[in-house]
Structure 1
Amino acid sequence: MGETSPPHAADDARGGEIILRTRRRRLIFIGGLVAWGLIAILALFAR
């Protein structure tokens, strides 16, 4: 087999930071959140 990379430290592997540096990325992220919210609301009323 090939070589394996060294294991990552727990603090490095956790991530959790969302980097939205450009306006375009922020709009896409917020648009995705809004879309999920609308889908959830529509699913409630579709019953």
Structure 2
Amino acid sequence: MSDGRHDKDGDNGPVFSAEQARQGEIILRTRTRRVIFIAGLVGIVILAIVVRLAIG
């Protein structure tokens, strides 16, 4: 019985250790990248507020 982790043709693909598979870090080294990231977060909040006001 298969546990769902294997492909039908037997090609399992690459194998990664737990250290390699963990999520990456957000690295905002330059001021421009920080500004773009924060502007995106603010934009999501503003969009959520506008959508909520438009619905109700």
Fold in common (TM above 0.5): yes
Misfit runs of 4+, over 2 Å: none
Tell me the number of residue pairs that the alignment of Structure 1 and Structure 2 aligns: 43
CA positional deviation for 1:21: 0.5
TM-score by length of 1: 0.75
- The code of the aligned residue for 1:33 comes to L
Identity of aligned residues (%): 53
Provide TM-score, normalisation by structure 2.
Answer: 0.65
Q: Which one has the largest radius of gyration?
A: 2
Where do 5+ consecutive residues of structure 1 fail to align?
none
What are structure 2's unaligned runs of at least 5 residues?
Answer: 1-12
